[in-house]
A and B are shown apart, each in its own frame.
Chain A
Amino acid sequence: MKTAEEIFKILKEKFGDSIVELKSDKPIDPFVIVNPLEVDKICLFLREEKDLLFDSLMNLSGVDDANGEKVKDEKGLETIKGGTLSVYYHLESTSLKQKLTLKVSTNREKPEVVTVTESWKCADWHEREAYDMYGIVFINHPDLRRILMPYDWEFGYPLRKDYKNPEFYQGMKVPY
């Protein structure tokens, strides 16, 4: 069983600048921040390397960091400019009983992350959900469509902090 520090060192040696830093100051789970455009290779390595063997992706979660600048648009509604959206990956090795959390951050205006479906098939729907809720585009994803919201939903991404409900959806009043 390896600690997050040891895994961070192995990754840093292998991938260099793509591994940004290890955050372990705040409670409770330490996580490794990596480059969003290299995350597929890093995950493949984590899965295949014989003393890491992260064969299972427990969870993949999009997050709105809401760390941009808050501005009012012409209607007086608050929107967020700049800042980042993030994706957290919770990995687990069922044989070696170790866990690791990865984090990637991407800019809010053009959020792009490389898919990890090549490493774990179960990332497919998780990534579709992150796209549906945050608008994060997963490059090379086999089937990037909305999943929980209606396919014709064109009013933005609901879990972004500055999301506004539309007034009407298909002729029905939304805030009832």
Chain B
Amino acid sequence: MALKTEEMVLNMGPQHPSTHGVLRLELQLEGEIIIDVIPHIGYLHRCFEKHAEAMTYPQVIPYTDRMDYLASMYNEFGYALAMERLMKIEVPERVEYIRVIMGELQRIASHLVALGTYGADIGAFTPFLFCFRDRERILHLFEITCGARLLYNYIWIGGVSHDLHSDFIRLTREFIKDFRPNLKELNDLLSFNRIFIERTANVGVLPLETAINYGVTGPNLRASGMKWDLRKDDPYSVYHKFDYEIPVGSGEKGKTGDCWDRYFIRVREMEESLKIIEQAIDQIPEGDVTSAIPKRIKPPEGQIYTRVENPRGELGYFIISDGSLNPARVKVRAPSFVTMQVFPELCKGFMVADVVAILGSIDIVLGEIDR
């Protein structure tokens, strides 16, 4: 006689350590197998877009910091870039270099959190401490530059708020020198660890077709095997001057687009970011960093959609200006928001324990999903 079975609904979150914030997942289970997942978001909703309509254009920048709080520099970068294109402002070359250096440092810092917490989520605690030790060095670099460790208000429309600290270049070089061996250590400890590979390879496979149709971008899309990076495919700032590779997932330990691929793409991206930073601090020109900041920011009537390659994917700003001092509409296309939609597809057919592994591998930030 067959055992009587029925579907069970299990709530995961909103206060669950592996959801990286406040996310509630409604799991529909048959035994331990997942049939469907319904994500419930909005617990961190602050209505950034409504706030922005009441602010002048420069006042929006501190709010953008608070969306993706692990990659604040890049949020400001994207917003400043959109406004400069709307107002047709030419930015001094030194500013562009500073922005690229800050952006890439931020990418490393953000990936370190992603990788460290991913290890911690599925039971490897030591790499978490190693990652946060290295991230601390980057936060120190940001602190000597602008005084803040996490929420910077550093990149302004037309420039940056301060020039680099006199020690910045030296400390950055030292950081790069120390960080390369640490990255190898991380690989030995976690990336090629047999238990870790068993836990992540062939889990949560994202096929390329599905990824594009769901609008997945950034490292998650590249892990599925597509060479797509806005720094190369829709170039902005001075990225065209540097020599670096775009890592693509190849299914080294399992199928292309599995959790391990998504994890390892981020390790390889950190190496490429180091290359960009090294070239940028060698080539950085002298100049005034505040000369192009307009006194009065009043863009012409019009609308623009600008996007940048954030550590999590395509961060887009859609800004409508009605010719006044306040934006008529600021819509943020948050990469985590879009990526989160594909999550139920990834989970179907796997075990409850794999939900944690899959959620960690797509690297979401709830501040950005809810805005």
Enumerate chain A interface residues (CB-CB to B < 8 A): 26-29, 31, 55-59, 61, 63-64, 66, 88, 90, 94, 97, 101, 120-122, 124-126, 133, 146-150, 158-159, 163
Contact = CB atoms under 8 A, between A and B. Distances in A.
26 contacts: A26-B303, A28-B86, A28-B302, A28-B304, A29-B304, A29-B305, A31-B303, A55-B212, A59-B333, A63-B320, A66-B328, A90-B305, A90-B318, A94-B212, A94-B228, A120-B213, A122-B213, A126-B338, A133-B49, A147-B41, A148-B42, A148-B47, A148-B371, A150-B42, A158-B47, A158-B50
Contacts of A101: 305
Nearest to B44: A148
Nearest to B304: A28
B342 to A, nearest CB: 8
B337 A125 contact: yes
Contact of B49 (A26, A66, A150, A159): A159
A58 B305 contact: yes
Given A58-B307, A149-B42, A28 B85 contact: yes
A122 B338 contact: yes
Interface in B67-111: 85-86
Contacts of B226: 94
A27 B213 CA distance: 30
Interface in B223-255: 226, 228, 233
Contacts of B342: 121
Interface residues of B, number: 38
B370 A148 contact: yes
A14 to B, nearest CB: 23
B303 A125 contact: no
Contacts, number: 93
Among A26, A61, A150, the one with the most B-chain Cβ atoms within 10 Å of its Cβ is: A61
B287 to A, nearest CB: 27
A122 to B, nearest CB: 3
A149 B214 contact: no
Given A27-B86, A27-B300, A147-B42, A122 B214 contact: yes
A86 B65 CA distance: 28
A26 B213 contact: no
Interface in B329-367: 329, 331, 333, 337-338, 340-342
**Interface pairs A-B: 3 shortest CB-CB:** A122-B215, A27-B302, A61-B331
B301 interface: yes
B85 A58 contact: no
A124 B215 CA distance: 11
Contacts of A56: 212, 215
B303 A29 contact: yes
Contacts of A150: 42
B268 interface: no
B341 A121 contact: yes
